[in-house]
Amino acid sequence: MFKKPLGQLKTSAPIRASDRRKLKQRVVTTFSANPEDGDTLVPEGILTAKFFTYAKEPGTLYLEPTNGNPLWFTIGKGSEDLIPTVYTLWKLQNSNLLPTVLTPSAVIPILVGGADLMIPGVITLSPAELEQNRLVAIHQLTSTKNDDGTFTRMLSPPLAVGRMAVSSEDLKIKSNAEEKGKAVLVLHTWKDHLWDIGQKDDVPPGTPLSSTNRSTEPQEDPAAEGRDENQATGEGNEREDQIEDNADDNDVTPNFAYTPQEITDLLNKSLIHAITHQLSSLPNASFPIPSSQLYSTYIQPCRPAYPTSVLLPSAASTEDPPRSPHYSH
């Protein structure tokens, strides 16, 4: 919905105190939020602005007064159907404002590009019973290896908001039958043009879910192993021209690979993090550090758990991911 810049965004203005109280009560009631969180979700001085999407759909935005982050929006003339942005969901990550849909990390860049989430791309739902058209938050699920050989499954913060295209019951039936189709109609994502209106906050840290040993490390989607990843992201559906141009017509599962320069950029960010949080506190006698030790002991552990939240890959590739031109270990 916001894969292209807004067609028009009018000047924002504070809403009246009485209207803010009504809006806060609507939010608390509609999303079963803790009343104590009402002022966080609808802060004092909240701004409102009318807008039109690039498709000329009218809507209303509610903006954070201190930094201009969009918090809520409605779509449609006269609509009062409030939809939270990822900025709002990041404020109260543990509040479960919306049901959770988990998807593999490789799917997220395609959702950001304008695709809907397809049935093969759903790992699990929480709660398990959801009706069609229900608002949901989409998270990515990753698995990281610990020093002791176990694996920790990590749940990212919400990275997209959408509506269930089918009920959870129908989703289960279609998934078991390996049918194609849309699972979630995506309305808004991290890094789309609605997110761009705000101050572009960094994605908050993820949440560890569980640890398992090497032999029982779970697959992200055992039932969908080997399926075409294009199915998981609606590759055959209308989206941004760039996504269409990059779509692979063959039945292969693409790796969303970073270029060598992008890998170098990610490693540079990891080095800066290591310097700031680890190396700066070492005694002078610890230096110089051999390059191999610097890489294995400090840079590698500081690599981002969600690299696509730091830097999106520029293109999809079916080849093996390239190495950094500066990496020779």
Q: What is the pLDDT of residue 210?
A: 61
| Tokens 């690979």 -> residue | 257
Residue 186 pairs with which residues in a beta bridge? 162
Region 236-246: what's the mean pLDDT? 37
Segment (H or E) for 30: helix 17-30
Q: Is the pLDDT of residue 236 over 50?
A: no
What is the rounded (10 degree) CA torsion for 27, 32, 33, 36? 100
Region 109-130: what's the mean pLDDT? 92
Cβ contact 316:246 at 8 Å = yes
Q: What is the pLDDT of residue 214?
A: 43
Region 100-110: what's the mean pLDDT? 92
Close Cβ partners of 197 (under 8 Å, ≥ 6 residues apart): 6, 9, 61, 63, 68, 69, 70
Q: What is the pLDDT of residue 238?
A: 40
| Average of per-residue pLDDT values in the chain | 81
